Chains A and B, each alone.
Chain A
Amino acid sequence: MKKYIFITLIFSIFLNVSCVTDDTCIQTKYVKLTANFYLTNPKDSIIANRITGFYADSITVQGLKYDSITKLYQSVDSILYNNKKVNTIDLPLNNNSTVSIFKLKFKLKLKSVVDTMTIYHSNINDYLSLECGCIVTHAIDKVTTTYHYIDSARIKVYEVNTINAENIRIYTDSDKIKNNKVNTINAENIRLFNK
């Protein structure tokens, strides 16, 4: 009889532990487009064609939203990057629109140059779980930019989701940099990458 009671007690304790449920979301819900900066013509670089980065002192990135009242594109209140020295930028795409526009302001030694990057994309609702809810992932259709400081942009990975991937490469023109009399590479702005 003692054996039966012992087994019953052990199983009851085991059951108490196993019945504790966790209602918190443990999955990542952060969906962002990653864009890296590259030099188009890195003649001055030591390791040519393998260097990311740009010669600008800093960058300011902000979304542009169409205002139906004024019928103009207005800057979104929140600034994504404010005078930051970065080689990589993470951009949130618009969940309720298929076009996301970003203003990229490059601060050079003598002046600031502004380019506008437009990303055309489709939105996919992805249900995760009751605890986590839903996320919106994206598929990039097309990227267009103005060419004041940016030379070109190339799509590398079309799917924008929670997986960390390089979605877009933004090439900046070294000749334009030279015209701005920048001659040295800032070591902090160099990042090696594997193909």
Chain B
Amino acid sequence: MRRTFVYLISSILLCISVSTALAQKKKQIAIPADSTRWLNGFTVNVDVASLATSTFINNGMYSSEAGIQLDLKHKFFPTIEVGVAGANKVSTDNIKFKTNGLFERFGVDFNLRKKKPDSKPTNNLFTAGLRLGMSNFNYDVTNVTLADNYWGGSTSINYPTQNVSKIWYEFVIGVQVEVIKSFYLGWNLRIRNLISKDIPGEVSPWYIPGFGQNKSSNYGFNYTVGYHFWPEKKIVKKTNVIIIQKKENQITK
């Protein structure tokens, strides 16, 4: 109930922030990225949703991540995401699971926004993309009780320092809006599918850093705050200066 309430509140806040961002967009003069250039700078994003979830929702899991997104022709956005995540979970039978680990994701986003000929220039993005995620991590499973209901007696088993590598892929869909000059707010939804599944007989982890709870498929949500480096303004200014100088030269001639 509490979790649903928190998500409801965050959803409303998200709607407000997106609408505010769009409203602010109208007020400022947007300088569009140059679609003829291959490299249009890069954006550094920090995920706020994972930080907020880790702080406000006590579900035994925490995560924080950041990423770098290159802007190629304002169409393709190769992305690298790195983060740290962990879980400290106790089951209803008092079995304890603990893990901490790093994770990485590589992939590319594609800008789905079609540029209309009469539309105002903008840097806002509506993207869809793919990621390949991986994590190598250690985990402990302790206090596994084995009770014999018929013959009697019980024993407790511990599985300390288990190590595993997991690989998964993600479908990502999201929005990025330039709120203030070079500052971006955005969100994205991810559907994750595990490639390396559990081997029968192994002590499987309950949680995979960067993937979430160990299931064949999982969902993820990021709310990002980003800053775009190498702003196009400088490039535009330079090109304007060159054009003005050329015009002046033509007049003097």
Contact = CB atoms under 8 A, between A and B. Distances in A.
A15 B223 CA distance: 13
A1 B202 CA distance: 50
A76 B150 contact: yes
Contacts of B97: 130
Interface in B158-208: 159, 175, 187, 189, 201-204, 206
A78 to B, nearest CB: 6
Given A129-B206, A134-B144, A16 B15 contact: no
Interface in A1-49: 1, 4-5, 7-9, 11-16, 18-21, 23-24
B229 interface: no
Contacts of B201: 126
Interface string B138-152: 000100111011111
A6 B206 CA distance: 34
A5 B15 contact: yes
A134 B146 contact: yes
Contacts of A130: 89, 91, 95, 97, 141, 206
B219 A65 contact: no
A129 B93 CA distance: 11
A interface, how many residues as a size bin? Answer: 35 or more
A16 B8 contact: yes
Contacts of B242: none
B84 interface: no
A68 interface: no
A133 B145 contact: yes
B88 to A, nearest CB: 12
B18 interface: yes
Contacts of A4: 18-19, 22, 175
A96 interface: yes
Contact of B92 (A9, A18, A23, A76): A23
B138 to A, nearest CB: 16
Contact of B150 (A11, A19, A63, A127): A63
B14 interface: yes
Contacts of B249: none
B47 to A, nearest CB: 15
Interface in A101-141: 125-127, 129-131, 133-134, 136
A80 B145 CA distance: 24
Interface in B7-26: 7-8, 10-11, 14-15, 18-19, 22-23
A113 B144 CA distance: 42
Contacts of A88: none
Nearest to B175: A4
A11 to B, nearest CB: 5
A8 B148 contact: no
Given A14-B189, A136-B146, A96 B15 contact: no
A14 B7 CA distance: 11
Contacts of A136: 146, 148
A1 B23 CA distance: 9
A60 interface: no
A92 to B, nearest CB: 4
A120 to B, nearest CB: 15
B29 interface: no
A127 B141 contact: yes
A105 B95 CA distance: 40
B129 to A, nearest CB: 16
A14 B204 CA distance: 28
A12 B7 contact: yes
Interface of A: 1, 4-5, 7-9, 11-16, 18-21, 23-24, 63, 65, 76, 78, 80, 92, 94-97, 100, 125-127, 129-131, 133-134, 136
Chain A to chain B: the 3 pairs with minimum beta-carbon distance, closest first: A12-B11, A130-B206, A95-B148
Interface of B: 3-4, 7-8, 10-11, 14-15, 18-19, 22-23, 59, 89, 91-93, 95, 97, 141, 144-146, 148-153, 155, 157, 159, 175, 187, 189, 201-204, 206, 213, 219, 221
6 contacts: A76-B151, A92-B148, A92-B149, A127-B141, A127-B159, A133-B146
